[in-house]
Amino acid sequence: MLETNTLFLIGGGLGLVLFLVGLVSLLTERRSVVDERLGRYAETGGMISVPGDEEAGKKNRTSLIIDFINQIAEGTDLYESVSRHLVRADLKFRPGEYFILIVASALSVGILGAIVGRSVAFGVLSGIFGIFLPPLYVLQMQKRRRKMFDQQLGDMLNLVVNGLRAGFSTLQAMEAVSRELPAPISVEFHRVVQEIQLGIAMEDALFHLLRRIDSDDLDLVVTAINVQREVGGNLAVILDTISYTIRERVRIKGEIAALTAQGQMTAWVISLLPVLLVVLLFLINREYIMTFFDPGTRVCGVVMLISAALMIVLGFAITQKIVRIDI
């Protein structure tokens, strides 16, 4: 009976792997199409607009399941939130594809956990963990992209200030940024320039940029540009002052990150140590860990595991809050 269940799990795992390979192939094929459209159409705060003569081609490239999920979820707060997070992470996924990716991650990790742990309960716990893998990846990509953008913001302001003092308009200075600086800041300002050239007001184009990049420094720059366009003034002097402030903030943030690196690493080690210990004990002495799930001790064991998980998460959050200093 055990061998039959094992073969069934292995067969299901192989089938899921083939499904994931097909899904990745589909998404990889559509990346070039999305990149091309992003270069030709403006973002108006939601999804990228698609002309009617390309609608048939889009249907051929997109599965019916993804279209069905997008049609059901479109217009909801969850759909808009997921779209905004994917745009900020610069991931060329539609929300329907992202939802399918979460389900596939939960199933694959759950089946892998059931095979390795030889337990349905361990598989369920692994599946729950797999649900959070795609959101964690999206958040990590957002942080990475926002950090790169903030580091390039000082150079961007210097280039804009020099352009304004040389007689360029604000739009021409932004075009220089899109040509001279590396990604991601060049890509984002290229989108801003394209939106303005398509007839969108500069305030709206900068607001779309702020939606794609959730940065306090960028918010300060956008606010300064909008206020100058309303009341007038020397924009070069204003941006020069903001550039100095941002450079000092980046420098101080780097010093704080170096001083708090030990505390952050300590939080990760202390939080992951009990989890790794439980996994190691499960692989070495499975009967000892499975006492948490025995019929006679299941209620107490599950409560203890949940309590331990909550304390680990709470301790990690408190430690990160202590070493995080806002500038």
Spell out the per-residue pLDDT of the chain, length 327, in tens.
444 555 555 555 555 655 655 555 554 444 444 444 444 444 444 433 334 444 444 444 446 666 666 666 666 677 778 888 888 888 877 777 888 888 888 888 888 878 876 777 777 878 888 888 888 888 888 888 888 888 888 888 989 999 888 888 888 888 999 888 888 889 889 999 999 989 888 889 999 898 888 888 888 889 988 888 888 788 888 888 888 888 888 888 888 888 888 888 888 888 889 888 888 887 888 788 878 877 777 778 878 888 888 998 898 888 888 877 776
pLDDT at 254 (0 to 100) = 82
pLDDT at 8 (0 to 100) = 52
Go through 9-47 and write b for each residue having 16 or more CB atoms within 10 A of its CB, e for each that does not.
beeebeebeeeeeebeeebeebeeeeeebbeebbbeeeb
**Which of 248, 267, 259, 265 lies closest to 327, judged by CA?**
248
User: Could you give the CA distance from residue 33 to residue 36 in angstroms, rounded to a whole number?
Assistant: 5
pLDDT at 64 (0 to 100) = 67
Q: How many helices, marked H, and strands, marked E, lie in the chain?
A: 14, 0
pLDDT at 71 (0 to 100) = 64
CB 42 within 8 A of CB 194: yes
Question: What is the residue extent of each domain of the chain?
Answer: 2-131, 142-233, 256-323
CB 252 within 8 A of CB 327: yes
DSSP result, 250-310 = HHHHHHHHHHHHHHHHHHHHHHHHHHHHHHHHHHH-HHHHGGGGSTTTHHHHHHHHHHHHH
pLDDT at 266 (0 to 100) = 85
pLDDT at 9 (0 to 100) = 55
Helix axes 170-180, 185-197, angle to 10 degrees: 140
CB 326 within 8 A of CB 253: no
**Which of 95, 103, 68 lies closest to 79, judged by CA?**
95
